[in-house]
Structure 1
Amino acid sequence: MVLVVGDRVTIAQIAEQAGVSVPTVSKVLNGRADVSAETRAKVESLIQEHGYRRRTSGTASSPMIDLVFHQIGGDWAVELIHGVEGVVRAEGVELVLSECGASRRPRQEWIESVLSRRPLGVIMVFSDLDPDQRAQLEARRIPFVVVDPVGDEGDDVPSIGSANWNGGRMATMHLLKLGHRRIGMIGGPVETLCSRQRVDGYTDALRSAGVPVDPALIGSGDFGVESGHREATALLGLKDRPTAIFAGSDMQALGVYQAARELGLDIPRDLSVVGYDDLPVAQWVGPTLTTVHQPLRQMAELATRLVLDLARGITPAALRMDLAVEMRVRQSTASPSS
């Protein structure tokens, strides 16, 4: 495999500049792990500085997009996949799905696979790249976009999210207007930006209404049903239990429903429940779930168009976008019973 800049520079010359062997440069190009960090950084710097690219008979990238999830499964992921799929199908681009697991960071095997097949771009969903992985993609000019960033990615990282703080405040204000004052909050993982923003929106709404923030009413989980059930059971076991619970996801809200049933509590007569996401299941449960609508498909569509624009050398109007959210009031909320 030869690397060229204007058909002048070979992989051997890159190796000579870096002071390493040709096989070592090849290993770096393919994302192999058996290269020291110092050597990898030196070769990556040369590749990025001079814009080296592989010599191919046609385009330098395969007509595909890599879509990487922290965890594939459930309606939340399905909504995002549908959003990406609709755009790539219209563009004649293939879609490759990957799962990075509990670490929220792709394994080295994944980066090796990406560098080998050279997709048009990568979309990271609720997951993240470490600096070395990011450098490897940037050196190969493989753009990436983050959907629902785990942390504050910085202004130079393309990302699509939603107005999580406003959503958390909106959900809490809805319950306050109904007359609730003991409002429980079940957030997601504390290390994730979207969860912290939703909890911050919740606490801001309480303070705005002159309601003290009680740490005993705030729990955290993993956005899944089981953690919603666990945290709701604890909240509803308090001597002065909440009359309403705002769950950080619709799946956690389903766990709240289960806990309420086990304790013989009626929703919404004894307990009001608000979710987040507005997944299809929100309208299938009984009573139907009041929730914050997060435009998941639109987020995925915009992320896909953004990464395709970057792959084509088009400068986007903005690298970071947070889409608006809306309340969807249904049957799971009511004024507290006297």
Structure 2
Amino acid sequence: MPSRHRQVTLATIAAAAGVSVATVSKVLNGRSDVAPATRELVRELLVERGYVHRSALREPVATVELQVEGPLCAYSDKIVQGAMQAAAESGAAVVVTSTDHLADGVSWARGLVEAGRRAVITLAVEPTPDQLGVLIQANLPVVVIDPLNVPAGPVTSVGPTNFAGGMSATRHLLALGHRRIAYLGGPATAGSNQARMHGYRAAMEEAGVPVPAEYVRTSGFCYPHGVQEGAALLDLPSPPTAVFAASDEIALGAIQVARSRGLRIPEDLSVVGFDDTQIATMTAPMLTTVRQPLREMGAVALRMALRLAGGESVESRHLELATELVVRGSSTAA
């Protein structure tokens, strides 16, 4: 039987090229740890012997790892959608993984490289200095989306204009005639929380309205934190008539506890959130909130990751995208 009709296997290709079967497998999977001359020889033999079509031997698609803390929710879903759309437009691919924390060690970074990742994007998971070190050694650029704190060192990040968003939310409540305005924030040490709180304080100072210490409460960004801290506000001898919450989930928690005490929203308590996720329009009345450009943040992060993976430079290590106040039914005149 002529040789061209014999079954072509990785072993026969390896024997013809004078390399190991593992090396042929690496070429097929687009691995970069094969000498260029060897890779080209193996590719020519694969085509010549009819193992695969030439179209399957093109350069591998650039793949970016997007690691998200915990399961996808309304907030992270929009960001992921933006990243995936930008990847499709760029001819790249995104692999989304859910994790409670980033892995560690050289083996973790090596595994990402061996899986064909060209860059890493993290959402709500911030790499430690040690994790950054192994990623840098592996030549994997990192982009952090909406970091709690702007990372130091050679890390690029994308986030919203938190300070401006805090100011616009508070100015809105002041314009409605409210003076007893409280702030319910996320973790006290989080940079994003501090920026939103400083925006709130700046607007109050601008209007000449004092802020009682008990009107500023920080805990976390989730619904239970809004319930807990909202209850503490309503227990005050002089409770606020309006609340600016640092996330939509906090806002909904505060609304729930207010309703449980017979208060009407917004007649008895006006509430403004931050994020403009889907839940902002799934409550009655719908939530007035500061809109983060979530899809755009995902898209920008993906494009920046691809540029860094290609050896290009970026204009800024931290890019802020504009926020926008969206007025709905949860806020009204005092």
User: TM-score per shorter chain, which class?
Assistant: 0.7 to 0.9
- Percent of pairs with identical residues: 35
Judged with a 3 Å threshold, the aligned counterparts in structure 2 of structure 1 residues 215 and 98 are, in CA distance, closer, same or farther, namely: farther
Q: Which residue of 259, 266, 269 maps to 2:267?
A: 269
TM-score (norm 1): 0.78
- Give the root-mean-square deviation of aligned CA atoms: 2.1
Residue number in structure 2 paired with 1:289:
287
Q: Which residue of 164, 188, 201 maps to 2:162?
A: 164
Distance 1:214 1:279 in 2: 30
Residue number in structure 2 paired with 1:54:
33
Residue number in structure 1 paired with 2:44:
none
Q: In structure 2, the residue corresponding to 1:201 is in which secondary structure?
A: helix
- Asked if 2 retains the 8 angstrom alpha-carbon contact of 1:155 and 1:320, the reply is no
Query: How many residues were matched structurally?
Result: 282
Q: CA deviation at 1:230?
A: 1.0
How do 1:1-338 and structure 2 match up within 5 A? 54-55=33-34, 57=39, 63-101=62-100, 105-108=102-105, 110-111=108-109, 113-154=111-152, 156-336=154-334
Q: CA deviation at 1:70?
A: 2.7
**Contiguous gaps of at least 5 residues in structure 1:** 1-52
Distance 2:183 2:111 in 1: 41
Q: CA deviation at 1:118?
A: 4.1
Distance 2:328 2:165 in 1: 16
TM-score (norm 2): 0.79
Distance 2:141 2:121 in 1: 9
Q: CA deviation at 1:71?
A: 2.8
Q: In structure 2, the residue corresponding to 1:259 is in which secondary structure?
A: helix
Q: In structure 2, the residue corresponding to 1:304 is in which secondary structure?
A: helix
Q: In structure 2, the residue corresponding to 1:54 is in which secondary structure?
A: coil
**Contiguous gaps of at least 5 residues in structure 2:** 1-31, 41-57
Q: In structure 2, the residue corresponding to 1:210 is in which secondary structure?
A: coil
Query: What whole-Å deviation, never above 9, does each CA across 1:96-122 have from its counterpart, x for those lacking one?
Result: 223342xx5545575453244240110
- Asked if 1 retains the 8 angstrom alpha-carbon contact of 2:227 and 2:257, the reply is yes
Q: CA deviation at 1:61?
A: 7.8
Q: Higher mean Cα deviation, 181-190 or 69-78?
A: 69-78
- Asked if 2 retains the 8 angstrom alpha-carbon contact of 1:99 and 1:106, the reply is no
**Which protein has the larger Cα radius of gyration, Structure 1 or Structure 2?**
2
Q: In structure 1, the residue corresponding to 2:147 is in which secondary structure?
A: coil
Distance 2:117 2:268 in 1: 52
- Asked if 1 retains the 8 angstrom alpha-carbon contact of 2:184 and 2:216, the reply is yes
Q: CA deviation at 1:217?
A: 1.0
